Amino acid sequence: MDLLIKSLVGFVVGGLIGMTGVGGGVLLLPILIFGLHVPPLRAVGSDALFNFLTKIGASAVHLRRGTVRRKVVLALIVGSAPGSYLGVNLLHHLRKVHGNGVNHFITFAVGVLLVVIPGFLFFQKKIEDRAAVRPPTIKSFAWMGLIGLIAGFLVGITSVGSGSIVMMLLLLFYSFQPKVMVGTDIVHALLLTGVTSFLHYEINHNIDLHLVGALLLGSVPGGLLGSYLSTRVPVPWLRRILCAVLLATGARMLMA
């Protein structure tokens, strides 16, 4: 029964990702914490590994299609890998000093991101439409490293934002065709979540492999179904409803 419930959660999350394009971390983590009552520290590590594994297929497709700017990915990961290391080690330090108090810190940090990220998603299309198509410069590459550092740190402590936060900040410095932006963002997110999940496993030992396996068991068919339904359901309205629910969840976590 436990396996069935976790697989069903994976199926629902995979379906919503396939239909709306909303990131897996921002959807799954609140469900793990509030729905399945997984301790926040374990939920963060497991969610990071889940996000890494679910991005492998999409990354391979974008790399084959040539919709990835590798230099941009490199500039981002140069900052995000050490940022993730700092974030994961901060959790390790807080657990040593405060014990289970680290879970309250994670809950608050995730709550903040669940308020910020859906707020961005509400206006993402308008921001993308207004972003002028411009290639990166040497100066913007330097800023991308800083973006990576910030995003990596946040992903290290919450596992949330490897795609959405980076995309939001990237639009400040450069813009290509939407498919190139998405492909570049996904490949960087694959590398970042891979580094983050490895660090969590090595430093905090907070990854539940059985949980991740059960979630994947449901998310694969869920993602396929969601992608199929995305052309048959009112995605913009579903996306708005989903963002509203995430905002409410974030507010609840902040008040917890």
Q: Are 37 and 248 in contact (CB under 8 A)?
A: no
Q: Which of 190, 186, 162 is nearest to 83 (CA)?
A: 162
pLDDT of residue 218: 92
Q: How far apart are CA 118 and CA 134, in angstroms?
A: 26
Domain boundary assignment for the chain: 2-255
All residue ranges of the chain with pLDDT < 50 are none
What confidence tens digit (pLDDT) does each residue in 116-167 have?
A: 887 777 666 666 666 556 666 777 788 889 989 999 999 999 998 777 788 7
3 state DSSP class of 205: coil
